Amino acid sequence: MILKRTLFIAGLVALALAGAQIYPSSAGEEARVIPAPASDEAAGSASTEVAVIAGGCFWGVQGVYQHVEGVSSAVSGYAGGEEKSAHYNIVGMGSTGHAEAVQVTFDPKKITYGQILQIYFSVAHDPTQLNRQGPDTGTQYRSTIFPRSAEQAKVAKAYIAQLDAAKAFPKAIATTIEPDKAFYPAEDYHQDYLTLHPNQPYIVINDLPKVENLKRIFPDRFRSKPALVLAKN
């Protein structure tokens, strides 16, 4: 629903006014330490590569990758549907085929595609949830990888099979792989949302813990200065 996050925030404000305590660290999705992918992309000569992933609200997923060393850009947007419906108010209806997605541009000499996926499965979202993440429900919040090449699709498929075989999660991974889907950037007011609104209750409860988990589980991958879209770093 379009108003889901607004209603969620309003509910938190009401609880605070009533004197209820809020525990941000316990409300975010649980991060997991998982094995690195056994199969990854072959080393190449390219200086940049693009990955497109979806894992619930794009605010948090974007915020995580903006703090990943080797990532030069993480843009919130939509993937899975048509260009004409790639608008927040339309996608929020849940019938466009789009998922809230993030386009991650990275240097494959500093971080591999497989390592991008390891962070995705470990701290960016819960891949076992079907068509939802946290308080958000609907196909627009599904867990999906949108590979940009046959090799990316192969790595993603193999990694999901590896994690399922290792029982890295208590349930089977629900992440789908949807190749040949275009990415459309979201409206400007969705970009850099975590950095620009760090005190908003939704961000505090659902998204800031993901960045803290990135720092805790992947200290060698963490960068304190985010790679922002609209503002100067």
Residues classed as catalytic: 57
CA distance 27 to 30: 9
Q: What number of other Cβ atoms are within 10 A of residue 200's Cβ?
A: 18
The first and second tokens of residue 83, run together, are 């260009």
User: Does an H or E element contain 178, and which?
Assistant: none
* Beta strands, E only, 20-147: 49-55, 71-79, 99-106, 132-133, 136-137, 143-146
Angle at 106 between CA 104 and CA 110, to 5 degrees: 145
The CA-based dihedral angle spanning residues 102, 139, 217, 195, taken in that order and rounded to the nearest 10 degrees: 50
